Amino acid sequence: MRIRFSAILVAGLLILAAAGLASLRVPALAWRTRTLALKVAGRMPDLSWSDMFRLIRPGSGVWPENLPDVGNPHWAVTAPASSSDDLTAGERLFAERCAGCHASGGEGGTLDSGVFRYGTSDWALFRHLRFGIDELPAHDVRLEPEQAWQVIAYLRSRIAEGNPYTGADEGDTDALAVPPVTSASLTGAEAAGAQWLSHAGSVDGRRHSSLDRITPANVGRLRLQWMRQLPLTAPGMLTPLVVGDTMFVSLPDGTTFALDATSGRPLWSSGAKGTVPERALSVDGAGTGGPAVLDFSLFVPTIDGQLYALDTRTGKTRWHVRVADPADGYTIVAAPLVAGEAVVVGVAGTDRGVRGYLDAYAADDGRRLWRFYTVPGPGEPGHDTWGEGSTWRRGGGVTPVIGSYDPSTGLLFWGVGAPSPPLQGSGRPGDNLYTSSIVAIEASTGRLRWHYQLNPHDERDWGATFVPVLGDGGAGTERPVVYAAARNGFFYVIDRETGRMLRATPFARQTWNRGFDETGRPLEIEGRRPTPGGTLVYPGHAGAAGAASPAFDPALRQFLVLTNDGYGSILYKSERPDWPDGAVWGGRAGRVAGTPVRRELLAIDVDTGEIRWRTDFPGTMYTGPGRGGVLSTAGGVIFAADKERLMAVDSSSGVPLWHFDAGGAIDAAPVSYLGGGLQYVAVVADRTLLAFALDE
């Protein structure tokens, strides 16, 4: 009998194990399995077993898929009931069961403040309405689950009505007078002039403002005009947008603010829509780049893989989709890009062994238009560059930096990250397309038009994670081109129509390349790839440039970029692809002891590839690369931001003219806009949004 029981127990455990393994491939099962595992490990003490099964069972109406990441139901669980019928039912139930104490003048208060003695979260309210409160017998209402969620939805609607930052319904006189943004206005001077309508000002990636009120002669009078604290958990890689007189800024969890662009006064706010996974912060940073805008819709990404469309006038949600699942290792750390009537968004997560892709969604209703996988599957062109194994399934090639768009051809241009594992290529023989490449994709179909691979079979984690900047001419041609300052230390000019590399010139110290063949393929110097004993290479694995947004001045025909000259790494290859915490690296990168990194602002002549001038960024001796970015203006002043300093230099000479020490890390590039007759320059430093203008 004992033997039979043991056999049954072993069989049951095997079945559960098999189910657990299968669930990892199905997102709907994956988060439930992880939740059960965390409960068994004792890491969810606030959640009873009965409560847990009530939440995660199919058909519960609740979808707390973030619960395994945060481990706290008070954070992860939100009321699922929100329709007009739910609100009506909740109002009726409140009148019948709750108003005796909580109506106007009742002993329990009106509840409109949103602050409750026994817990403010939706989960706390659910438990109170479902099971009562022991200390308060009068609260023993014990509603059914659906009824409890309906009452909570009604309470939330009452709280929102009393929130001065919440926008009014469409058509209400209190709705903001924000003008609509057309696709045509997202390119050229209109996009980056009086307004700042895209992450790079315009969708061509140039970060060049047509405003000229700030000049070398008066920039010394630039003063801080207003500042706004942001509820960030870490310094943010955030770029605000300005539409009309309204500034929009969104945080990694989707919290979004509409501010008066001339004073910073809040106009409306939209609460958190996602959670911030701890591992995403440690690798990808606290940022999603910021929002995008088209018509009356503001497209807000969250770092846990969601995309929301909010009404610019009210902050109310128009639609919502899940782009990626953090349980599978994905995050979103870049702003979306509007391409025609589509909203295109990339994903991050190479260190967690994901397969990269780009998604496009219809701007009007959020339906997915296409998905382009950067690592081709069986039967697709390029799949044969991954060998015969299955490493392509988790081959990396993420898209964590925003791309650019050419409306005249309908093409998207996007930089693709390194393959995975990034420092160990023995398990992925071949060039590993389309990793470490620039790809040109038809915005209407998602079809690949061309690619150029900067580093075939990349084993240095360089990738091509930078903003491709669109220009005209260079390298002996007048054709439309793409400019790119790559992490591998070369400045590229690429034919925009064919993908042919026209010129590549080094802009930082490099020890890996001895030239290019007639197809543009790099000719590598032997012995510059990772080894078990370590190999010294310049630039280091984080690159000579990359994350910091560049700029392009079309009048002076110069490309502007923050660089890390003298930055090298000792690259070690490991036979074990992953680290104990699950990160997939295939090795590690060690710093070169005693070697400082010179942070510089460079002006590169796009016609010749030569460096016109270089300016040391104040406090330039660092041990690693930075973020930040560059803004060019028609007034002859360039603004560069990095580490803790915002500085202005002369566009023609690079001579420093002005600086401001922010006292906190600046991980995003500045923007410029017009408000009340003044030209403003704004940037996020640490957890604070700063806006500057001339002191009149």
Q: Could you list the active site residues?
A: 461
Give the Cα separation of 330 and 326 in Å (integer): 5
Instruction: Answer yes or no: are the C-beta atoms of 611 and 562 closer than 8 Å.
Output: no
Q: SS3 for 383?
A: helix
Q: Hey, what are 682's tokens? A: 């704004």
Instruction: Answer yes or no: are the C-beta atoms of 422 and 461 closer than 8 Å.
Output: yes
Distance linking the first and last C-alpha atoms of the chain: 92
Helices (H) and strands (E) in the chain, counts: 10, 39
Burial (0-12, 13-18, 19+ Cβ within 10 Å), 4: exposed
Q: What angle do CA 112, 118, 121 make, to 5 degrees?
A: 65
Q: What angle do CA 380, 386, 391 make, to 5 degrees?
A: 105
DSSP 8-state class, residue 331: B
Residues 6+ apart with CB under 8 A from 333: 237, 280, 284, 285, 287, 288, 289, 303, 348, 400
Number of neighbours of residue 227 by Cβ within 10 angstroms: 14
What is the SS3 string spanning 597-627?
Answer: EEEEEEEEECCCCCEEEEEEEEEEEECCCCC
Bridge partners for 564 per DSSP: 599
Burial (0-12, 13-18, 19+ Cβ within 10 Å), 526: exposed
Buried b (16+ CB within 10 A) or exposed e, 483-513: bbbbbbbbbbbbbbeebbbbbbbebbebebb
**Phi-psi bin for 580: left (phi > 0), alpha (psi -120 to 50), beta?**
alpha
Length of the chain measured in residues: 696
Burial (0-12, 13-18, 19+ Cβ within 10 Å), 58: exposed
Q: In 232-369, which ranges are continuous DSSP H helix? A: 278-284
Instruction: Answer yes or no: are the C-beta atoms of 475 and 437 closer than 8 Å.
Output: no
Give the Cα separation of 129 and 97 in Å (integer): 10
Number of neighbours of residue 549 by Cβ within 10 angstroms: 29
CA 55 vs CA 72, 498, 515: distances in Å: 12, 53, 59
**Phi-psi bin for 436: left (phi > 0), alpha (psi -120 to 50), beta?**
left
Q: Hey, what are 291's tokens? A: 């929002």
Number of neighbours of residue 318 by Cβ within 10 angstroms: 19
DSSP 8-state class, residue 468: P
Burial (0-12, 13-18, 19+ Cβ within 10 Å), 567: buried
Q: Hey, what are 396's tokens? A: 């990396």
